[in-house]
Chain A
Amino acid sequence: MFYIYCPHCGEHREEEEFHAKGQAHIVRPIDPAACDDKAWGEYLFFRKNPRGLHHELWIHAAGCRKFFNMTRDTVTYEIKEIYKIGEQPSVVAGNKLAGNK
C-alpha cells in the first residue's frame, strides 16, 4: 500500500485516501472538431504502459479532493516526484536523478 504525499494538504497519507486516474499530461485537443477519428482515438483511448517511470494523475479523493501528478516507477513502485497540475515533471525517463526527492 502506497504512502502518498498530497501537495495540497502538505502531508503523507495512506493510499486508501487516493484514487489513481491514469496517465497524466493528456492534452485535450483545442479544437476537437478539427480532429479526424484517428487523432481523436489517440486522445481518447491510447495510453502508455511503460516499464519504469510513469507520470500519473491522482486525486486525494477522501481528502482535499484535489488532483495532482505523480511520477512513479512501475517496477519498484517508488514514487519519484509529486507535482501539481499545470507543472511539468523534473524526473523523467533517462534523467532519473534530476530532482529525485
Chain B
Amino acid sequence: MSQKNRLGTGGRIDRTTPLKFQYNGKTYTGFQGDTLASAILANGIDVVGRSFKYSRPRGVVAAGAEEPNAVLQLGATEETQVPNVRATQQELFDGLTSQAVNGWPNVDNDMMSWVGKLGGKMMPPGFYYKTFMYPKSLWDTYESMIRKAAGLGRSPLENDPDTYDKVNQHCDVLVVGAGPAGLAAALTAARSGARVILADEQSEFGGSLLSSKELLDGKPATSWVKSAVDELAGCADVLLLPRATVNGYHDHNFLTIHERLTDHLADKAPVGMVRQRLHRVRAKWVVLATGAHERPLVFSNNDVPGCMIASAVSTYINRYGVVPGSELVLMTTNDYGYQAALDWHDAQRKVVAIVDTRQNPQGARVEQARKRGLNVITGSAVIEVQGSKRVSGVSVATIDAAGNKVTGAVNRLNADTVASSGGWSPVIHLSSHTGSRPVWDDKVVGFVPGPTVQKQLTAGGINGKYSINEALSEGVLAGLNALAKLDLPATEVVLPSAADMVEEASMTLFQIPHLLPTSKAPKQFVDYQTDVTAAGIEVACREGFESIEHVKRYTAMGFGTDQGKLGNINGMAVAAKALNKTIPETGTTIFRPNYTPVTFGAMVGRDCGELFDPKRYTAMHKWHVEHGAKFEDVGQWKRGWYYPKPGESMQECLDRECKATRDSVGILDASTLGKIDIQGADAREFLGRIYTNAWAKLAVGKCRYGLMCGEDGMVFDDGVTSCLGDNHFLMTTTTGGAPRVLEWLELWHQTEWPELDVYFNTVTDHWSTLTISGPNSRKLLSELTDFDLSNENFSFMDVHQCTVAGVPARVFRISFTGELSYEINVQANYGMHVWEKLFEHGKQFNLTPYGTETMHVLRAEKGFIIAGQDTDGSVHPHDLGMSWCVSDQKPFSYVGKRGMARQDCMRENRKQLVGLKTKEPKVVIPEGSQAVFDPNEPIPMTMVGHITSSYYSANLGHSIAMGVIKGGLSRMGETVYYPQADGRVIEAEICSLVFLDPKGERQNV
C-alpha cells in the first residue's frame, strides 16, 4: 500500500525502516518513528471510529494525549488485547494489530448511525440521568443497545502474559515534561548536583521543539535538545524517564509515573523484560512543565473527519513527514495558528484559505502568510463544514467583532481539511489533582494553576507562556527556585534563544456563530468523545443546571477517557454564554488522577497471582497438604478446614471427624490463634481493666477465659489468658483479631494508663499449638511425656511447662470442645516433630485430624461462642447469657462496664443468644436466616432475630443452631420460624445453648 500523504523528506522518521501494521484487518506500512496515528494519516485513512452517541464517523483530531477520537484496541492475540489506546501516543512497531472500537458492524458502515440521524432524540442530554431516574424497566431496554454501541474497547479474556513492576523513588526535583521549559529546569537543577527525575510521556525528549521549525541560536531546536539530553544523561543523580507519563499528583508531593518500557517493541521485547513500571515518587520539589493543549473551535459539523487542531497539522508535517490532506482551510483566533498553514504550504500542498476571526491581524506569522501569497480572509469564520466521512467543503462568512453573529453572505470553499485554533489551554491537570482550584486568567484566556500547598513550581506553557524564549527562561527560573528551596547552590545556565516574533493578541472566541441559532444549526461538537454539543449544553442550562459541575454530569462532558482535554473550556464558555456569566463564574474545571488511562497491570505490579496477598502458614502446613486437607482463609492464614478421605463428602468427613474426637481423640492445628505475651508489675491490673471478668486472684499456673468489650459494652474479642508468673501472662485472641487486640491493648496503655508498668508483644508466630481433644487425649499425651497428667496434678484450666516428645512445651489444659483436652505449645520449629510423634503414637487411638469446620461444630455442641460470628458489635455479654463472665466487684471501672449500663443495654427485649433445635431433626437452618414469631404475617414481616451458627451434629443425631432472638433467654421452649427465600418455613424450638454434656463433666475427667 502506498502512503499517499507521506512527504518525500523531512520529519523524525526513518524511511529506511518500513513497518507493517494492521488496522481493521487490512495491512498498511508506516516507518520507524511513526505513531499509529501518523501512520494511519500517512495511509489516508479518514475514519478511526464512530461517535459514542450519534454514531458519526470520526477521524484523528490531535497528535498527543488530548486525542479524543483515535482510541483503538490493540493486540494480535486474545491475551495481549489492550483497550483504550490513543493512537497518537502509540509508537508504531512491526506487526502492530489495531482495531477501531466504536462502530457496529464496522466503522465505515455503521448500523447504529440511524440513531444518530434521528438527531439523537433517543439519547438527549441527560439521557443517563433521566433513565436512571425514571422507571427501571426503561434501562433494561436501552442497556444492551448502549453497551453494544458505546464500547471504548474490551478487556482481554485471557491472562496478561506480561510482567509489570513498581518502584519507589525519592528525588530533590521531579520535572514533569521535557519540552523547552522542562529541559531548562532539569539542566539548572542537575548542574547543582540535585537528584533530578525528568519524565516525559513521549518517546523522545523535546516536547514542542520536536515539531518546531524555529531555530535556537541559528540552529534547529532539536540540536539544542540533543545537547541538553546528553548533558543530563551524563549526570550521576539524574534519572531520565521517556515514555513515562506523570499521571497523578497526590498529597505531600507524592507522584505516580506510568513508564512504558516495551509497548513500542511488543513481541520483540527481550523475554522477561518488564512491560510497564509504576514509579511512586516522593519529590522534595516538583516542576510542572506540562505545556498546553490547543483548543479547537466549536462550529457546525466540526467533527467530520478532516477537522483537526492546527498544531496537530504542524506536528504531523514537521515531525512525521505526513500531510493529512490536500486542501486546507485554517480557521484561527490567534497568530500561532497560522503556523499550520505555513507548514502546509511549505509542504507544497494547497492552502485554500486562512480564515482569521480577528478584524485586522498583522502579527509576524500573519505577514509571513501574506508574503507567501496565501489567501487570508479576516473578520470571518468557518461557520459550517460539509462532508460525512471526510470534509468536502466549508461555509465561510463574516462575523462581528465580538464573534457573536454572522454579518455577511456565506461563501462556499472546497477543502478536505479544516484546521482550527481557538488558542491554548494550559495543561493544569496535575496541579489540580491535590485539590488546588485553577484560576482563570483573562490574558491567557484559560485556567492557570491556582494556589497550592504542595511544593510545586510551574514553568512555560502551563503558565500561559508559549514562546520558546519565555518557556526556556521560565524553566531556568523554576530550577533556580527549587535549588533555593533545597538550600543547594545555583550554577549559571546560558540559554540559547529563538528569534523574537511579534505576536498580536488573540481573540477570545470559543463557539463560532451560525446563521441559525445553536439549537437549530447543524451539530457543533464540544466534547467529541462523549458526543456533547453546544446545543446539548444549552439544554442543560435551560433545564436549570447552572454550575459547570452539574452541567458536566448532566451532559457527560469531560467524562470520557480523555477527561475532556479538548472540550472542557469550550463547554464552559458555551455554558457561560447561555447563563450570561463569565467563565470563572460558572466554576472551575477540576481534573482528577489519572491524567491518561493507566493499565491495571501497572497498578497491580507484581502483587498478583501468588503474590496478591501475603499468606501465612503454620509449621505443620506441609502435613495438612499431604493429608488432603481442604483449606480456608482466616485472615491471611491458611487453615485446615476438613480432611476428607477419598470418596468422602464434606458432611461425611465432618461427621467422622466429630465422632472420632468425642469417641476417642482428635487433633487440631491451632497455631494461628493470636498470642500476646504480657509482662510487667502491673500486667494483672491491666488485664482487670481490659477484660470484663476478675483477674486479681488468678494463681500462677492457672488459665482463665476472658471477654473483652469496647467502651460501648459490646463484645469485641475473647480468649483464654494464662498466668505464667506473677508478672507474666499469655493472652490468646481469635485468629483474625490478633493484630486488632494488640493495637487495642497498646491504645489503652499508651494513651490512657501510661503509668502502668506493662509490656505487650505478639508471639503468635513463635509457637506451634497442637490441640488434642477427646477422652483418650490424656492417654495419648502420656505416651510422649513423663509429666504426671493425673487429674489431681494437672487439672482443668492448668498450665504446665514440661517436655513433650523430647522438646520443651507449655501445655494448657483448656477445652474448646468440652472434652478432656490439651493445647500443646512448642517452639514453632518443633511443631512438625511433635505433630508427627503424636500421630505415631496416636494410631492406637484412631487419632483423627480435624479442621476449623469440625472445631466449629464441636464448640457449637457446647454453646461456646465465636467472637465475630455469634457477635456483631451489637451484643454485650449479658445478651450472650454470659453474665458469669462480668464482674461487678472490680474497683476499677473496666473498659465496657459503663457502656453496658446504658439505658439501651439494660432494656427489655434485647436480642439474646440462644440455642435452636429444628422440629425436623435433619434440617439445618441456613446461617443468616431471619426469625419471625408469626409465620403467617404478611410481608414485611416482623423480624425478631437471626441465626449466627448452624450445623448438623453427628454426635447428637440432629441439627443444632445458635442465634439471637428478641427476649430469647426468657422464651425457652417457644417456637420460632425461619422463612426461606424458596418459600419453605423452618420451624425451631428455642433451647439452651448447651446441647451436649450440660453439666460440663467431660472436660473435667
Q: Quick one: which of A33, A77, A86 contacts B893, CB cutoff 8 A?
A: A33
Closest-CB distance, A15 to chain B (whole angstroms): 8
In chain A between 33 and 58, which residues have their CB closer than 8 angstroms to a CB of chain B?
33, 35, 37, 40-41, 43-44, 57
Is the CB–CB distance between B750 and A78 below 8 Å?
Answer: no
8 Å CB interface, B861-909 against A:
893, 897-899, 901-903
| Chain B min CB distance to A4 (Å) | 9
In this assembly, does B252 line the interface, its C-beta being within 8 Å of a C-beta of chain A?
Answer: yes
Q: Inside 8 A of B750's CB, which chain A residues have their CB?
A: 66-67, 85
Cβ of B743: which chain A residues have Cβ within 8 Å of it? 19, 59, 61, 65
Q: Which residues of A contact B (CB under 8 A)?
A: 1-3, 14, 19, 21, 28, 31-33, 35, 37, 40-41, 43-44, 57, 59, 61, 65-67, 73, 75-79, 85-86
B749-786 residues with Cβ-Cβ distance < 8 A to A are 750-752, 754
Known: A2-B251, A14-B282, A77-B434. 11 other contacts (CB 8 A): A1-B250, A1-B254, A3-B253, A28-B752, A37-B903, A40-B898, A44-B711, A44-B712, A44-B899, A77-B252, A85-B751
Q: Is the CB of A67 within 8 A of B899?
A: no
Known: A2-B252, A59-B743, A65-B746. A86 touches B898 (CB 8 A): no
Cα(A19)–Cα(B752), bound, Å: 18
| Interfacial chain B residues near A41, Cβ < 8 Å | 902
Number of interface residues of B (CB under 8 A): 26
Contact partner of B282 (CB less than 8 A), chosen from A3, A19, A44, A67, is A3
Least CB distance from B750 to A in Å reads 5
Which B-chain residue is minimally distant from A69 (CB atoms)? B751
Say yes or no: is B138 at the interface (Cβ < 8 Å to chain A): no
Can you show 12 pairs from A to B with CB atoms below 8 A apart?
A: A1-B251, A3-B253, A19-B743, A32-B893, A33-B897, A33-B898, A33-B901, A40-B902, A59-B746, A65-B746, A67-B746, A78-B453
Q: Which residue of B lies closest to A27 (CB)?
A: B752
Q: Is B153 part of the contact surface with A, judged by Cβ < 8 Å?
A: no
Would A21 and B747 be within 8 Å (CB), given that A32-B897, A86-B754 are in contact? yes
- Say yes or no for B435: interface residue by CB 8 A criterion: yes
Question: A3 and B453: CB pair below 8 A?
Answer: no
Residue of chain B at shortest CB distance from A43: B711
Residues of A within 8 A of B252 (CB): 1-3, 77, 79
Nearest-neighbour CB distance to chain A for B308, whole angstroms, equals 39
Contact B903 A77 (CB under 8 A): no
A99 to chain B, nearest CB (A): 17
- Give chain B nearest CB distance to A37 CB in angstroms: 5
Q: How far is the CB of A82 from chain B (nearest CB, A)?
A: 13
Question: A13 CB to closest chain B CB, in angstroms?
Answer: 11
Contact across chains for A57 and B751 when beta carbons are under 8 A apart: yes
Name the A residues within 8 Å of B742 (CB-CB).
65
Please give me the residue from chain A that is nearest to B896 by CB atom. A32
Q: Could you tell me the distance between the alpha carbons of A90 and B514 in the complex, rounded to whole angstroms? A: 63
With a 10 A CB-CB cut-off, give which of A76, A78, A85 has the most chain B CB atoms: A76
| Shortest Cβ distance from A31 into B: residue | B893
**Interface pairs A-B: 9 shortest CB-CB:** A32-B898, A3-B252, A76-B453, A32-B893, A67-B750, A77-B251, A1-B254, A78-B453, A85-B751
CB-contacts of B715-760 with A (<8 A): 742-743, 746-747, 750-752, 754
Write the nearest CB–CB distance from A78 to chain B, whole angstroms: 5
Question: Complex Cα distance A76/B452, Å?
Answer: 8
- Judge whether B754 and A85 touch: CB under 8 Å: yes
Question: Within B808-847, which residues are at the interface with A (CB < 8 Å)?
Answer: none
A-B contacts at CB below 8 angstroms, number: 63
State A65–B760 Cα separation when bound (angstroms).
Answer: 10
Q: Counting chain B CB atoms within 10 Å of each CB, which of A35, A57, A61, A65 scores highest?
A: A65
Chain B residues within an 8 Å CB radius of A59: 743, 746-747
A19 vs B744: C-alpha distance in the bound complex, in angstroms?
Answer: 12
By a CB distance below 8 angstroms, the chain B residues around A66 are 746, 750
Contacts of B903 in A (CB 8 A): 37
Q: What separation, in Å, do the CA atoms of A43 and B711 have in the docked complex?
A: 10
Fill in one digit per residue for B249-282: 1 if any A CB lies within 8 Å of its CB, else 0: 0111110000000000000000000000000001
Question: Is A67 a contact of B751 with CB atoms below 8 Å?
Answer: yes
Given A2-B252, A77-B251, answer yes or no on A67-B893 (Cβ-Cβ < 8 Å): no
- Complex Cα distance, B752 from A78, in Å, reads 27
Q: Give the contacting residue for B902; candidates A37, A61, A73; CB below 8 A.
A: A37
Contact A67 B747 (CB under 8 A): yes
Among the listed B253, B435, B747, B901, which residue makes an inter-chain contact with A76, where contact means beta carbons less than 8 Å apart? Answer: B435
Closest to B903 in A: A37
Minimal beta-carbon separation of A33 from chain B (angstroms): 6
Q: Closest CB-CB distance, B962 to chain A, in whole Å?
A: 28
Smallest Cβ distance from B678 to chain A, in angstroms? Answer: 14
> Chain A residues near B282 (CB, 8 Å)?
3, 14
Residue on B nearest A86 in the bound complex, by CB: B754
Q: Which single residue of chain A is at the shortest CB-CB distance from B750?
A: A67
Bound-complex Cα distance A21 to B752 (A): 14
The 8 A CB mask of B149-162 against A (1 = contact, 0 = none) is: 00000000000000
Tell me how far the C-beta of B434 lies from the nearest C-beta in chain A, rounded to whole angstroms: 8
The answer to whether B747 and A40 touch across the interface, beta carbons within 8 angstroms, is no
Residues of the B chain whose Cβ atoms lie less than 8 Å from the Cβ of A2: 251-252
Contact indicator per residue, chain B 345-386, by CB within 8 Å of chain A (1) or not (0): 000000000000000000000000000000000000000000
Candidate in B743, B751, B752 with the most chain A CB atoms within 10 angstroms: B751
**Residues of chain A contacted by B751 (CB below 8 angstroms):** 57, 67, 85
A76 CA / B453 CA spacing, docked (Å): 7
Nearest CB on A from B745, distance (A)? 10
| Nearest neighbor of A45 in chain B, beta-carbon distance | B712
CA distance A67 to B435 in the complex (A): 29
Closest residue of B by beta carbon distance from A24: B751
- A68 vs B835: C-alpha distance in the bound complex, in angstroms? 44
Q: B residues within 8 A CB of A21?
A: 747
Closest chain B residue to A61 by CB distance? B743
In the bound complex, residues from chain A placing their C-beta under 8 Å from that of B453 are: 73, 76-78
Q: Enumerate chain A residues within 8 angstroms of B435, measured Cβ to Cβ.
A: 75-77
- When chains A and B are docked, how far (Å) is the Cα of A76 from the Cα of B743? 29
Q: Closest approach, in angstroms, between the C-beta of A87 and any C-beta of chain B?
A: 12
Find the B residue at minimum CB distance from A67: B750
Note all chain B residues with C-beta closer than 8 A to A78.
453
Contacts of B898 in A (CB 8 A): 32-33, 35, 40
CA distance A21 to B711 in the complex (A): 15
Which residues in B have their C-beta under 8 angstroms from that of A37? 902-903
A65 CA / B560 CA spacing, docked (Å): 44
Smallest beta-carbon distance A25→chain B, Å: 10
Compute how far the CA of A2 lies from the CA of B453 in the bound complex, rounded to whole angstroms: 13
Q: Please measure, in the bound complex, the distance between the C-alpha atom of A40 and the C-alpha atom of B903, giving whole angstroms.
A: 11
* Minimum CB distance partner of B256 in chain A: A1
Q: How far is the CB of A52 from chain B (nearest CB, A)?
A: 13
> Inside 8 A of B254's CB, which chain A residues have their CB?
1, 3
Contact with A along B791-803 (1 / 0, CB 8 A): 0000000000000
Q: CA of A57 to CA of B747 in the docked complex: distance in angstroms?
A: 10
**B907, chain A: closest CB distance, angstroms:** 12
Residues in B with CB closer than 8 Å to A44 are: 711-712, 899
Which of B251, B282, B903 counts the most A-chain CB atoms under 10 A from its CB? B251
Q: Name the distance in Å between A96's Cβ and chain B's nearest Cβ.
A: 13
Bound Cα distance from A32 to B902, whole angstroms: 11
The listed residue with most B CB atoms (<10 A of its CB), out of A19, A41, A44, A75, is A44
CB-based nearest B residue for A25: B751
Select from chain A the residue with minimum beta-carbon distance to B712: A44
Instruction: Provide the residues of chain B in CB contact with A43, threshold 8 Å.
Output: 711
Which residues of chain A come closer than 8 Å to B250, judged between CB atoms?
1
In the complex, are the beta carbons of B746 and A40 less than 8 A apart? Answer: no
Docked Cα-Cα span, A79 to B358, in Å, equals 50
Closest to B753 in A: A28
In the complex, how many angstroms separate the beta carbon of A97 from the nearest chain B beta carbon?
15
User: Which residues from A are CB-within-8-Å of B712?
Assistant: 44
Q: How far is the CA of A39 from the CA of B820 in the complex (A)?
A: 48
Beta-carbon nearest neighbor of B452 in chain A:
A76
Task: Report how far A35 CA is from B751 CA in the complex, Å.
Answer: 21
Chain B positions 430 through 465: 1 when the CB is less than 8 Å from some CB of chain A, otherwise 0: 000011000000000000000001000000000000
